[in-house]
Amino acid sequence: MKLTHLTKIYFPDNGGGISQAVETVTDGFRDMEQEVICCQRKPGIETVEDTYEGIPVLRCKQFLDVASTPFSFRFLKEMKRRGANDGITIYNFPYPLCDIGILFHCYRGKLVLWWHCDFVSYKRLAPFYRPFVKHSLKKADMILVSSDGTIDGSDLLPQFRDKCLKVPYSISDEHLRAGEEYVEKYGYGVSACVKISDEEGAASLELDDGSVNGNHVHMLFLGRLVWYKGGDLLLHVLKRLVEEEKIDAEGNTPVYDLTFVGGGPKQEELEALTADLGLTDRVRFTGMVSEEEKREEIRRSDFLVLPSTSEAESFAIVQIEAMAFGKPVINTRLNSGVPYVSIDGETGLTVTPGSEDELLQAIKTLGKSKDLRERYGRAAYERVQAEYTREKMIRRLKDGLETLYKGEKM
pLDDT value of position 187: 92
Kindly state the average pLDDT of the residues 39-45. 94
| 113 plus 193 within the same structural domain | no
| 347 plus 255 within the same structural domain | yes
Here the contacts of 294-298 (C-beta below 8 Å, separation 24 or greater) are 294/222, 294/261, 294/321, 295/175, 295/178, 295/325, 296/194, 297/220, 297/222, 297/259, 297/261, 298/220, 298/222, 298/322, 298/325, 298/327
Strands, DSSP E only, in 225-370? 255-261, 283-287, 303-305, 329-332, 348-351
* Alpha carbons 336 and 316: distance in angstroms, whole number: 10
| 155 plus 185 within the same structural domain | no
Strands, DSSP E only, in 179-278? 192-196, 203-207, 216-222, 255-261
| 147 plus 226 within the same structural domain | no
* Residues 286 and 308 sit within 8 Å (Cβ to Cβ): no
Judged by DSSP in three states, 4 sits in strand
- Per-residue model confidence as pLDDT tens digits over 339-348: 999 999 999 9
What's 281's domain CATH number?
Answer: 3.40.50.2000
| 166 plus 210 within the same structural domain | no
**Phi, psi dihedral angles at 171 (to 5 degrees):** -125, 170
Would the pLDDT of 359 be above 60? yes
Average pLDDT of the chain to the nearest whole number: 91
Kindly state the average pLDDT of the residues 375-395. 96
Would the pLDDT of 17 be above 90? no
Indicate the Cα dihedral angle 387, 391, 397, 403, nearest 10°.
Answer: -110
| 81 plus 127 within the same structural domain | yes
Domain contains 396: yes
What are the CA-CA distances from residue 252 to residues 6, 128, 245, 247, 282 (Å)?
Answer: 54, 55, 8, 10, 18
Domain that holds residue 30: 2-170+390-405
pLDDT value of position 253: 84
- Per-residue model confidence as pLDDT tens digits over 252-307: 789 999 999 999 899 999 999 999 999 999 999 999 899 999 999 999 999 999 99
* Alpha carbons 341 and 315: distance in angstroms, whole number: 7
| 155 plus 234 within the same structural domain | no
242-253: burial string, b at 16+ Cβ within 10 Å, e else: beeeeeeeeeeb
- Per-residue model confidence as pLDDT tens digits over 119-145: 876 667 788 999 999 999 999 999 999
DSSP 297-335: HHHT-SEEE----STT--S-HHHHHHHTTT--EEEE--S
Confidence band of 409 (pLDDT split at 50, 70, 90): low
| 148 plus 294 within the same structural domain | no
| 79 plus 180 within the same structural domain | no
- How many distinct structural domains can be found in the chain? 2
| 163 plus 218 within the same structural domain | no
| 395 plus 281 within the same structural domain | no
| 322 plus 203 within the same structural domain | yes
Domain contains 410: no
Kindly state the average pLDDT of the residues 39-56. 95
